[in-house]
């Protein structure tokens, strides 16, 4: 692989593929603002974190492991992989566990991408796909999402070349919240060449309740040699800070991921919390219901302010505001931090995480103040 050096040829030689590559940006947080001396009590709704914390049983299990932090994590994450395999009715060899969805995306990129290859996505979408492709010297081919914020699978088919190694289907899509239905997704998978790996990113799977949405792990029709499904404990399970997610797919793809990941990258604390979470179906259902109520309230409030948010199937709402960065800055002045869509390919929209009922009310009120202030300054 090509490398770059400084002008006099001295110093470390950095790979050319990452020359000028921006680090991954998770968006502005309350901690960022606090570090700048912000005096407001800020509400962080930029990262799609669950607002309620870990399940009680998960917190208890995690705490029990803290006293064993002198020990390395379980090799190969066998217990968690085994329980996931049992619950999902797949073989344990078809399950990989990693340090969050972004960690598994990185492993897929390392396993599948070389210089001169490419990935295919719809935009705006989760920008880790393109960043990790670039780290491997690969490029990204993209087409705009459809008007409802879902991936344009038909247009994506037209972008696939002999050099394509991965096509991503973010479903529900981050940041827009749109979904691709079962029949369309199945037709797409039937058409994609077998040498291309299809990564169905279902980080927001638990929130998607539409009858058109499908379970790509449970449905035998999606059991393909070149397909993997990604899910995470970061969102509905409230474990974003512990970094644990999983992949389900063919033995050869899972084996490739396991070859490039660190044997100890998911801590015992994270594994224990994830294991405990899997058995809390009633609490998961309750929180998904709370999210739906909050998402509906947020969408209704935005419409009353004369915005036109997209229909969302995640734990966030996406809405066009004009200059996303300027609007985000003004909203932070009112105590609310949201995510501008710039890094994901859309400088005119913002993504707002669904919080508690009180947080949703505060968000709508703050946006109303921003609109009023903007109108006053324009007259």
* 169: β partners: 200
Secondary structure E strands in 268-311? none
Q: How far is Cα 364 from Cα 276, in angstroms, rounded to an integer?
A: 35
In the chain, CATH 3.40.640.10 sits at 56-277
Has domain 56-277 been given CATH number 3.40.50.150? no
The interaxial angle of helices 78-88 and 268-277, nearest 10 deg, is: 20
Closest by Cα among 208, 220, 365 to 295: 208
The predicted-structure confidence for 88-145, as pLDDT tens digits, reads as follows 999 999 999 999 999 999 999 999 999 999 999 999 999 999 999 999 999 999 999 9
Q: CB within 8 A of 194, min separation 6: which ones?
A: 225, 226
Interatomic CA distance for residues 155 and 355, integer angstroms: 34
Buried/exposed 69-89: b ≥16 CB within 10 Å, e otherwise = eeeebbeebeebbebbbeebe
Stated pTM of the model: 0.91
Q: Do residues 155 and 122 make contact, with C-beta atoms less than 8 angstroms apart?
A: yes
- Kindly give the confidence (pLDDT) of every residue in the chain, 379 residues in length, as a single tens digit, with 9 standing for 90 and above: 565 555 556 677 777 776 776 765 666 555 565 555 554 578 999 999 999 999 999 999 999 999 999 999 998 999 999 999 999 999 999 999 999 999 999 999 999 999 999 999 999 999 999 999 999 999 999 999 999 999 999 999 999 999 999 999 999 999 999 999 999 999 999 999 999 999 999 999 999 999 999 999 999 999 999 999 999 999 999 999 999 999 999 999 999 999 999 989 999 999 999 999 999 999 999 999 999 999 999 999 999 999 999 999 999 999 999 999 999 999 999 999 999 999 888 999 999 999 999 999 999 999 999 988 776 665 5
Q: Which helix (H) or strand (E) holds 119?
A: strand 118-123
Q: How far is CA 116 from the centre of its chain?
A: 26
Q: Give CA angle at 367 (361, 368), nearest 5°.
A: 90
The CATH class for the domain spanning 24-53+282-378 reads alpha beta
Locate CATH 3.90.1150.10 in the chain. 24-53+282-378
């Amino acid at each position: 692989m090509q490398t770059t050096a400084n002008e006099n040829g001295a110093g470390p030689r950095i790979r050319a593929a990452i020359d000028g590559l921006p680090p991954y940006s998770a968006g502005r947080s309350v901690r960022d603002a606090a570090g700048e001396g912000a005096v407001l009590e800020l509400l962080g709704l930029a990262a799609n974190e669950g607002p309620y914390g870990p399940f009680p049983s998960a917190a208890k299990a995690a705490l029990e492991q803290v006293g064993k932090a002198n020990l390395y994590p379980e090799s190969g994450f066998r217990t968690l992989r085994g329980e996931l395999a049992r619950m999902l009715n797949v073989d344990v060899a078809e399950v990989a566990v990693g340090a969050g969805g972004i960690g598994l995306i990185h492993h897929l990129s390392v396993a599948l991408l070389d210089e001169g290859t490419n990935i295919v996505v719809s935009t705006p979408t989760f920008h880790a796909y393109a960043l990790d492709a670039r780290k491997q010297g690969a490029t990204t081919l993209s087409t705009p999402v459809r008007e409802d914020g879902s991936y344009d699978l038909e247009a994506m088919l037209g972008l696939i070349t002999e050099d394509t190694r991965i096509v991503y289907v973010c479903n529900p899509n981050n940041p827009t919240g749109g979904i691709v239905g079962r029949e369309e997704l199945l037709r797409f998978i039937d058409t994609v060449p077998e040498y291309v790996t299809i990564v169905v990113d279902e980080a927001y799977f638990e929130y998607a309740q539409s009858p058109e949405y499908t379970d790509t792990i449970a449905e035998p029709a999606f059991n393909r040699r070149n397909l993997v499904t990604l899910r995470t404990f970061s969102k509905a399970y409230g474990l974003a800070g512990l970094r644990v997610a999983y992949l389900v797919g063919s033995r050869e793809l899972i084996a490739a991921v396991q070859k490039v990941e660190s044997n100890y990258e998911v801590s015992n604390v994270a594994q224990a919390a994830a294991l405990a979470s899997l058995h809390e179906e009633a609490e998961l259902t309750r929180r998904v219901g709370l999210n739906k109520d909050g998402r509906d309230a947020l969408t209704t409030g935005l419409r009353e302010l004369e915005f036109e948010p997209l229909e969302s199937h995640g734990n966030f709402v996406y809405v066009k505001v004009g200059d996303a960065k300027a609007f985000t800055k003004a909203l932070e002045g009112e105590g609310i931090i949201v995510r501008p869509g710039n890094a994901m390919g859309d400088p005119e929209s913002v993504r707002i995480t669904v919080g508690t009922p009180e947080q949703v009310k505060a968000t709508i009120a703050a946006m109303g103040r921003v609109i009023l202030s903007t109108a006053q300054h324009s007259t």
